[in-house]
Structure 1
């Protein structure tokens, strides 16, 4: 009995140390730490390391500046993947696991199955890349929805002005993919399936980090976060 109690105490201490190490690693993301965390969270081929590495780099910079309130959650949308793939990931950083993985639409003028063109201009009906903070929820045309605030001037900072929000849509579904070989497209919003609406939106609201990724030299040259 004494031996078992001793093992339990050791397990608790190890858990605390590991939790502290994860937090420290995210605030100071060396390539080794980032690669290690990536390997523990994702299955092979699930998302490119580059997308995760850039997301963590931005998370570290913004969290150190005190901008992130909900700092245990990070969302990545990987536009290097086609719309037919589950390319939105809600990640529990503290416990190193994917909370939700799902389909997500891009803007109608960004491309067909792949998002290729991006804009920060009102009326463009294109998606915008980069880092966002999630805002407040509200009920609109599509039910429960989530305001987004773009953090990168000239890249996505007009998101709120453009009414680029996270909402659910009927055109984001496996049935739509079967019929059209791609998802439907939005006016620039990251639209998700209705089945995920009341799971994802409450989990990521109130200033958690959202990173929309694309392997883009133009974005990398303009961004001051990565």
Structure 2
């Protein structure tokens, strides 16, 4: 089992070039199609011209999970990249059919996950930490933080308590870019909080059954993910 985990980590954290595509034929990330899931992610990354904007490894993992989640209702993929600081744009929304980046924004993380960088994650109620992994978006509601979007965590033990913890997408003044002048955005109670002006249009784009992936350079998550390691 240990050797299998190391093997998977090796392929996720090295750049993939076209000459290497055939070498991953027996990887756990290879689908039944002739072209591996890793190669699909690489091709999309190039076609969408995301270099210099989006983390390639984060995008590749997001695409692999997106393709495996059959319950999705729309061709929209959201990537939150917590390997980036809160002062940088790290919330990305993609139209997977049109192969287009629709939105990029700053986003706040949980107050106990870290300062400018999110480095600690939890699935526990009251932790006030962000949770990694794959989600499906659900319906919207008007709550204490205004217009909000319910998230259904798909990975047991990693983010499946998101709904019970009221982890939702919402807008917040502390997530506005002007706050970052102090050295970091404000922080939430674990929710991915967006700038006030962007929250509604983004929520309306991703609501009702799209895939969201919250990424960090976190070997523990990678070893435990039941979606990235699904056979």
TM-score range, shorter-chain basis? 0.7 to 0.9
SS of the residue corresponding to residue 155 of structure 1 reads coil
For 2:60, the equivalent position in structure 1 comes to 53
Q: Which of these residues, 76, 81, 84, is aligned with residue 78 of structure 1?
A: 81
Query: TM-score, structure 1 length as denominator?
Result: 0.84
1:26-175 mapped onto 2 (5 Å cutoff): 30=36, 31-63=38-70, 67-70=71-74, 72-175=75-178
Q: Per-residue displacement from partner, 1:163-194 (whole Å, max 9, x unpaired)?
A: 0000000001121111x210000000000001
For 1:204, the equivalent position in structure 2 comes to 206
Q: Per-residue displacement from partner, 1:101-130 (whole Å, max 9, x unpaired)?
A: 111000000000000000000000000000
Q: How far apart in 2 are the matches of 1:222 and 1:121?
A: 16
Query: TM-score, structure 2 length as denominator?
Result: 0.82
Indicate conservation of the 8 Å contact 2:177/2:195, yes or no: no
Q: How many pairs does the alignment contain?
A: 196
Q: How far apart in 2 are the matches of 1:162 and 1:97?
A: 32
The range that moved more, 54-63 or 181-190, is: 54-63
Q: How far apart in 1 are the matches of 2:59 and 2:137?
A: 18
Indicate conservation of the 8 Å contact 2:93/2:102, yes or no: yes
For 1:186, the equivalent position in structure 2 comes to 188
Indicate conservation of the 8 Å contact 2:78/2:92, yes or no: yes
Structure 2's unaligned 5+ residue stretches are 1-30
Q: How far apart in 2 are the matches of 1:108 and 1:132?
A: 21
Indicate conservation of the 8 Å contact 2:77/2:95, yes or no: yes
Instruction: Return structure 1 stretches of 4+ with deviation > 4 angstroms.
Output: 26-29
Deviation at 1:47, TM superposition (A): 1.7
Deviation at 1:69, TM superposition (A): 1.1
Q: How far apart in 2 are the matches of 1:32 and 1:107?
A: 33
The range that moved more, 138-147 or 109-118, is: 138-147
Indicate conservation of the 8 Å contact 1:27/1:60, yes or no: no
Deviation at 1:39, TM superposition (A): 1.3
Indicate conservation of the 8 Å contact 2:45/2:51, yes or no: no
Relative to its length, the structure with more helix (as a share) is 1
Deviation at 1:32, TM superposition (A): 2.8
